[in-house]
Each structure stands twice: as C-alpha cells, then as structure tokens.
Amino acid sequence: MTAMTAMNHTTAPALAVLTWTRRIAWGALTLFLAAFAIFEAQKYGLPTTAAAIAFFAVPDLFRRHRWAHLASLPLAVLVLYTVTPVVWPPLFTAGLGWLTRIAITRTLRRR
C-alpha cells in the first residue's frame, strides 16, 4: 500500500465522524432557532411572524447569491439587535428565520 492510500483509509472514518457531528450540531441549532422564532412570533404577533417567514425564504429567493447563504449575516443581525438600543421585534425574528433556513440547509446537505 502506498502512503497516500494508507492515509486515505485512516482519514475517511475521521471525516465521516466529523461530518455527522457537524450535521447533528446544525440540526440541534435548527431546532433551537425554529422554536425561538415560533416563540417570538407568537409573543409579538403578525409582523414578527411575517418577517420570520419572509426571511426564511431569503436563501431560496437568492439562490445564486453567495451572501444569502452565509450564516454570518443573519447572526450579525441577531447580535446587533441584541447589543444596540433598537427595539423592533420583526428585525430580530427576520434574523431568526434567515438563520433557521441556513441551518436547515446545512443539516440536510448531501456530503
């Protein structure tokens, strides 16, 4: 066996474990974000529900744009909403909806 073949045989199980661990983590985050978005939508009413649903669709509406699939953008919205004096719940639930969609996509990714 060559060194390259031996390396492939030893790293393949480690990569499989890493892949499943990553999927489980994204899945747990998906469940948390979805529950949090539903809680916030129920708490603040129709505008927050509409914002969460609308931004849940952002990655689908902008499939060809890489920025729509970056988790850092909705995460930045959530963090900035939390640390600034802005008080507009639809903005927060929009970030939750967007990040939930990205987390679902990463959980169900085929790889």
Nearest alpha carbon to residue 101 among 64, 54, 66, 65: 54
pLDDT tens digit sequence for 31-48: 999 999 999 999 999 999
- Taking each helix axis from N to C end, the angle separating 3-44 and 46-56, rounded to the nearest 10 degrees, works out to 160
Position 6 pLDDT exceeds 80: no
- pLDDT score, position 8: 58
For residue 12, name the pLDDT band (cuts at 50, 70, 90).
confident
Position 82 pLDDT exceeds 80: yes
Q: What is the mean pLDDT of the chain?
A: 90
